[in-house]
Structure 1
Amino acid sequence: MLFAVLCTDKPNALQLRMDTRPEHIAFIDELNAKGGLAFAGPFLDDAGKPNGSLVVIRAETIEEARAIAAADPYAKAGLFAQVDIRPWNWVFNKPEA
């Protein structure tokens, strides 16, 4: 099952994001290697700077999706003001289709 993890950064947290980025990228790479990542990328503000994240993951349950999201170094560093996790159905332009 797919879950969309929608994250909003805390205000003025760009430096924290940049400082934590190498660990976050390693986490995402490992998740991808294990088959748990569908796709991911940052949301951008009006200046084109990252201010949140969209990570779509494969998990069996919402609890597993929450555990994966909580293990992200960005989450552990306290980057996010808000995290919303929702079951998601990839219908259009799905690579496997």
Structure 2
Amino acid sequence: MLFAILCNDKTDHLQLRMDTRPTHVEFLNGLGDKLKFAGPFLDGNNKPNGSLVVIEAESQADAEKIAASDPYAVAGLFESVTIRPWNWVFNNPSAA
């Protein structure tokens, strides 16, 4: 099952995001086929201020474990994290 992980950064934490980014990227790359896509949300100045990560996981609990292991989460970057089951209907490359 797919899960969308929606993360909002804490205010004024851009430097923490930038400092942690290399380990975050390494973590995402390490997810292999579990990672479907990911990228930052942007503020009005085109600076990252959150994340959208879509993963495949066996359950909500497994998705929560993966999200909690993200170096951004471990570093305390996020103000909030929402994890929701998601159905990729349109432009899903695996459905082609």
TM-score (norm 2): 0.98
Report the alpha carbon displacement of residue 96 of structure 1 after superposing the two structures with TM: 1.2
C-alpha separation in 1, matches of 2:94 and 2:85: 19
Which whole-Å CA distance do the structure 2 matches of 1:46 and 1:74 have between them?
A: 21
Counterpart-to-counterpart distance in 2, 1:27 and 1:78: 16
Which residue number corresponds to residue 80 of structure 1?
78
CA deviations on 1:51-82 (whole Å, 9 max, x unpaired) are 00000000000000000000000000000000
Q: How many residues align?
A: 95
1:63 alignment partner, SS class: helix
Residue 53 of structure 2 aligns to a residue whose secondary structure is strand
TM-score, normalised via structure 1 length: 0.97
Runs of 4+ in 1 over 2 A off after TM superposition: none
Residue aligned with 2:94, SS: coil
RMSD, aligned CA: 0.4
Percent identity for Structure 1 against Structure 2 = 66
